[in-house]
Amino acid sequence: MYLSRFQLIKIQIAKLFDKLYLPDNVCLSCKNYFKPSFQGYVCDDCISSISPKIFEKEPFDYIDDYRIFSSYEGALKEMIIALKFKKASLFANIIGDIVENDFFAFVKSVNPDIVTYVPVSFFRFWQRGYNQNELILKALNIRYKSILKRVRHSKALSLGIEKVQRKKIVFGAFNIKQEFKFGLEDKSILVVDDIVTTGATATEIARILKLHAVSKVYFYFIASHKRAVGML
């Protein structure tokens, strides 16, 4: 990508503002200046370019059904990154707005007894002060229960790691909180996660849930590294 000197300066300015945690009016996605508005960070054009997509349905062990909202690219990617690494929970509200219709259509189709989310490790929670998946559920204004916990801090799964290895890394990384352990029998559970790569994390969570007699496990992912096969 060719960047003019002017664009490079704009990016430098944007980075500087990032460091200072100040909202600026350079769009995180297209890097253009835009009129400062309530949501800050990402311009309306980029936000409106995010749309629900269709993905090839690869079956995941222990998971009865799942839905991926869109591709991990462009403005959606920038917002997911910002939500994780900046203290900017407002991205949860924007993401919530964007996925709302798609999410509730899936909820309606699977009709879960319990809605929950993939937990981050205690270390990351302490670093950020929040769980990005929980913030998205809050933004969606749906009743949920925090039934899962991470029992060990596995290092972040980077893209280069093979599927088999990812499975090993996440094996035993999750458990169900004590207070929920005996109340899950025959329940159907929908778990929300921001990104799906190989499905190793989701499969491991589903395995733990089914070990506790959960009847159906569903997942809703905000974004996938996989290439979409079409638009919804």
Please report, as ranges, the residues that interact with Zn ion according to CB under 5 A.
27, 29-30, 43, 46
Q: Residue 25 Cβ, how far from Zn ion at the closest point, in Å?
A: 11
Give the Cα separation of 147 and 138 in Å (integer): 15
Q: Which residues contact 19 (CB under 8 A, 6 or more apart)?
A: none
Residue with Cβ nearer Zn ion (30 or 107): 30
Q: Residue 26 Cβ, how far from Zn ion at the closest point, in Å?
A: 9
Residue with Cβ nearer Zn ion (43 or 115): 43
Residue 194 and residue 80 in contact, taking contact as beta carbons nearer than 8 Å: yes
Q: Residue 47 Cβ, how far from Zn ion at the closest point, in Å?
A: 8
Three-state SS for 118?
coil
Residue with Cβ nearer Zn ion (30 or 169): 30
Residue 11 and residue 33 in contact, taking contact as beta carbons nearer than 8 Å: no
Residue with Cβ nearer Zn ion (43 or 137): 43
Residue with Cβ nearer Zn ion (29 or 203): 29
Q: Residue 91 Cβ, how far from Zn ion at the closest point, in Å?
A: 14
Residue with Cβ nearer Zn ion (50 or 173): 50
Which residue in 182, 162, 179, 180 sits closest to 170, CA to CA? 162
CA distances from 202 to 31, 94, 195 (A): 33, 24, 10
Q: Residue 41 Cβ, how far from Zn ion at the closest point, in Å?
A: 9
Q: Which residues contact 191 (CB under 8 A, 6 or more apart)?
A: 116, 117, 118, 148, 202, 205, 206, 209, 217, 218, 219, 220
Q: Residue 213 Cβ, how far from Zn ion at the closest point, in Å?
A: 47
Give the Cα separation of 222 and 151 in Å (integer): 24
Task: Show the tokens assigned to 51.
Answer: 């749309």
